[in-house]
Amino acid sequence: MASTGSAAPRSPLAVAVQLAVLLLLALLLLLPLLWLLSTSLKGPTENIFTSPPALLPAAPSLEAYRKLFAEQPMATYLLNSTIVSALAVVANLLFCSLAAYPLARLRFAGRGLVLALVVATILIPFQVVMIPLYLLMVQIGLRNTLWALILPQAATAFGIFLLRQSFLGVPVELEEAARIDGCTPLGEWWNVLIPAARADLITLAMFVFIGTWSDFLWPLIILDDPNLFTLPLGLQQLSSSFSLDWRLVAAGSVVSIVPVLLLFVLLQRYILPSASGDAVKG
């Protein structure tokens, strides 16, 4: 009979080779970001088109960042993007979890059909609904408002499906115990399912934030007022054909990337396997 013991430890050489390959891949992935940061830190007199290219700035300077906030309305762009992304995240967590709860726990006629229709909308490209959505926003008077950016992102089929699958993994015994303690269905959703699905909620929040933060096409269509421009539209203004300063564009790109990186660093430790099953005793 074959042995069922643990696998033999790998040799130090194999571990070193694997580590070297992983470090090389990480460096290749980080190189564009490092190049962007280097370009933004090069002074106004430094040639950024040298041959061979110089990764490190000869005389590091924050002039591009000063000009970005002193001569451009970058603070307004950041504020608009923050408001839109934050409200879109809150709306998604609320509405998607409320929609996922009956699809996961309640028994009603046509539940499978409703779920199938929700999932089917994922296959519809945004370009198909873009014009009807624009006409709708014009008719209800939301064109050139931040609400026109928030409402279309308030709930997503992906979020409903993700949280529905997450709720299905929560033991029914936890809800039964909450029901015995006097919880209403809404109380079970808030006190049992929401805490148990924390990892998936955070994952959904990150997806929605990144998608809304980096969205360019829909704000370009629905907004004309420069005071309402989000960060992607603001960066497009920086790279206009009349005054192109690559240092300024690079600095703006770095500013747009930093919040996403910070969000990931702060939230990644919360994305852990749910331990809700441990609360159920035999």
The CA-based angle 115-119-121, given to 5 degrees, is 125
Q: What is the pLDDT of residue 13?
A: 82
pLDDT for res 275 = 42
Q: What is the pLDDT of residue 272?
A: 53
Q: According to the model, what pLDDT value does residue 145 have?
A: 94
Q: Which pLDDT value is given to residue 279?
A: 39
Q: What confidence tens digit (pLDDT) does each residue in 190-240 have?
A: 999 999 998 899 999 999 999 999 999 999 999 999 999 999 998 888 776
Write the pLDDT tens digit of every residue in 14-63. Answer: 888 899 999 999 888 888 888 888 888 888 888 877 777 777 888 888 88
Answer whether 203's CB lies under 8 Å from 162's CB. yes
> What pLDDT sits at residue 4?
52
**Cα three-residue angle 145-215-81, rounded to 5 degrees:** 55
Q: What is the pLDDT of residues 253-275, one digit of tens each?
A: 899 999 988 888 888 777 655 44
As a whole number of angstroms, the distance between CA 256 and CA 261 comes to: 10
pLDDT above 90 (res 134): yes
**Tens of pLDDT, residues 59-107:** 888 888 998 888 888 999 999 999 999 999 999 999 999 999 999 988 8
Confidence class for position 243, pLDDT limits 50, 70, 90: low
**DSSP codes joined into one string, 106-129:** ---TTHHHHHHHHHHGGGS-HHHH
Tokens of 135: 């006409």
Give the domains, in start order, of the chain with CATH numbers: 12-61 (no CATH), 68-279 (1.10.3720.10)
Is the per-residue pLDDT at 277 higher than 70? no
Predicted local distance difference test score (pLDDT) of residue 228 = 94
Asked if pLDDT for residue 119 goes beyond 60, the answer is yes
pLDDT at position 240, please? 63
Residue range 143-185, pLDDT digits in tens:
999 999 999 999 999 999 999 999 999 898 888 888 888 888 8
**pLDDT value of position 180:** 87
Sign of CA dihedral 238, 246, 66, 27: positive
178 in Cβ contact with 191 (< 8 Å): yes
Nearest residue to 74 (alpha-carbon basis) of 219, 241, 222, 238: 238
| pLDDT at res. 148 | 95
Which residues, 6 or more positions from 211, have their beta carbon under 8 angstroms from its beta carbon?
A: 153
